[in-house]
Amino acid sequence: FKNTIKRIIQFAKTVKKIGDDDPRRIAHSFKVGFALTLVSIFYYVTPLFASFGVSTVWAVLTVVVVMEYTVGGTLSKGLNRAFATLLAGALGVAAHQIAVLCGDKGEPVLLGLFVFVLAAAATFSRFIPEVKAKYDYGVMIFILTFSLVAVSSYRVDELIELAHQRLSTIAFGVATCLGTSIFVFPVWAGEDLHKLVADNLEKLACFLEGLAAEYFAEKGATEDMDGKSFLKVYMSVLNSKPTEDFLANLARWEPRHGRFLFRHPWSQYQTIGVLSRQCAYLMDALATFITTLPKHKPNMDQDRHLMIQTACGEMSSESAEALKELSLAIRTMTTPALANHHASNAVAAMENLKDALSKEINILPNDLHMATTASFLDLLVI
């Protein structure tokens, strides 16, 4: 019994946390409830119900299925649904007209054949990457509508009227969803993507900052680094690809909003994402390096050691500054002013170190951050 109470409390805490993490989620839940109630008025008001009849079902169904968290999601699903229904409905009616020509016996056979061929072809098209990315839902609705129209045409007499009723209720459902998601506390996929990319750059900067402050500090190299928080901060960047791709895909559907225009260069964000991940991979390698290798003090004179340490620290902190600058520039949508300066400082520090060490083959992987950071700058043409 005690366990049950514990679990309920635990569960309530989880729920509260989800709401606190992003209050827009609560707003979204209410929006769905609101849109559904709005659309069900069709049923309650007698004259409205009389003109649409049982097809009113489709308005409710559309709202539940099309309503997504972001504006881009709702738009992409809504437009996919509307156009796929229109196209498949027309094709279904055409299939019916052809099948009727074959007489009573031939009709179901021919209809069955049509459904089989079109469903198989459309299903296969969902494996094409471009279709999958943008029109997956549309193709599914296409198969659905075509099968429904073609198959039920065998039983229904006023096919055109039925199709018309369905189409208008679906259109009404889509319109309700779009209205609710664009005008009531909109959640823009583009804005989320923008924030995610800037956040990720900042996380990378935090790692480098931590590196400079803790590992390349006076006693850093001999201290135990396990459990330092800066060694975890880049982790979420490693697997950011699916979220980024998902958001970028939805952002392309969104109209002008805030400081984002209609054809905002979303693919640039994905390019920055790829570079951020490359950076994060290097950091992961460096972090493994720092935490797993035994700390045997190198036998070399103190001066040299100090020199290397200082140079590495400088490289890290300058790169961190540059990344922070870039992150800020993305956030405020301005040209980064000081990033170039910091990056060239970092590169200079690296060159100095290299000169000093030219007789050794010791080149810390850290250097590589510089190369990547530098390539960031070239790409920042937003």
Find the binding residues for its own copies in span 294-323 (CB under 8 A): 296, 298-300
Q: Which of 128, 184, 261, 306 binds its own copies (CB under 8 A)?
A: 128
Size of the site for its own copies (CB under 8 A): 77
Q: Which of 44, 103, 227, 302 binds its own copies (CB under 8 A)?
A: 44
Using the rule CB under 8 A, is 222 a contact of its own copies?
no
Q: How far apart are CA 209 and CA 109, in angstroms?
A: 71
Minimum CB distance to its own copies smaller for 54 or for 337: 54
Q: Please say whether the beta carbons of 322 and 201 come within 8 A.
A: no
The SS3 assignment for 257 reads strand
Task: Give the CA radius of gyration of the chain.
Answer: 29
Minimum CB distance to its own copies smaller for 29 or for 51: 29
Tokens of 47: 């004259």
Q: How far apart are CA 327 and CA 348, in angstroms?
A: 22
Three-state SS sequence of 168-200: HHHHHHHHHHHHHHHHCCCCCHHHHHHHHHHHH
Q: Which of 82, 84, 110, 148 binds its own copies (CB under 8 A)?
A: 148
Using the rule CB under 8 A, is 359 a contact of its own copies?
yes
Q: Which of 14, 222, 267, 335 binds its own copies (CB under 8 A)?
A: 14
Q: How many CA within 13 A on the CB side of residue 80?
A: 25
Q: Which of 48, 64, 133, 160 binds its own copies (CB under 8 A)?
A: 64
Q: Which of 12, 94, 102, 117 binds its own copies (CB under 8 A)?
A: 117
Minimum CB distance to its own copies smaller for 96 or for 264: 96
Minimum CB distance to its own copies smaller for 45 or for 262: 45
Using the rule CB under 8 A, is 127 a contact of its own copies?
yes
In the complex, minimum distance from the CB of residue 299 to its own copies, in angstroms, rounded to a whole number: 6
Where does this chain touch its own copies (CB under 8 A) — which range of 19-27, 71-79, 176-184, 262-270? Answer: 19-27
Tokens of 365: 């992987």
Using the rule CB under 8 A, is 213 a contact of its own copies?
no
Residues 6+ apart with CB under 8 A from 78: 66, 174, 177, 178
In the complex, minimum distance from the CB of residue 175 to its own copies, in angstroms, rounded to a whole number: 18
- AA identity, residue 33: G
Q: Please say whether the beta carbons of 159 and 149 come within 8 A.
A: yes
Q: Please say whether the beta carbons of 342 and 325 come within 8 A.
A: yes
DSSP 8-state class, residue 215: I
Q: Which of 100, 372, 377, 382 binds its own copies (CB under 8 A)?
A: 372
Q: How far apart are CA 380 and CA 327, in angstroms?
A: 11
- AA identity, residue 342: H
Q: Please say whether the beta carbons of 238 and 277 come within 8 A.
A: yes
Q: Please say whether the beta carbons of 118 and 124 come within 8 A.
A: no
Where does this chain touch its own copies (CB under 8 A) — which range of 30-38, 84-92, 96-104, 178-186? Answer: 30-38
Minimum CB distance to its own copies smaller for 8 or for 121: 121
Where does this chain touch its own copies (CB under 8 A) — which range of 77-85, 152-160, 210-218, 340-348? Answer: 152-160
The contact mask relative to its own copies for 76-115 (x = CB under 8 A, - = no) is --------------------------------x--xx--x
In the complex, minimum distance from the CB of residue 227 to its own copies, in angstroms, rounded to a whole number: 18
DSSP 8-state class, residue 211: I
The contact mask relative to its own copies for 274-293 (x = CB under 8 A, - = no) is ---xx--xx-xxx-xx--xx
Minimum CB distance to its own copies smaller for 97 or for 239: 239
Where does this chain touch its own copies (CB under 8 A) — which range of 54-62, 183-191, 209-217, 262-270? Answer: 54-62
DSSP secondary structure letters along 127-171: TSHHHHHHHHHHHHHHHHHHHHHHHHTTT-S-HHHHHHHHHHHHH
The SS3 assignment for 260 reads strand
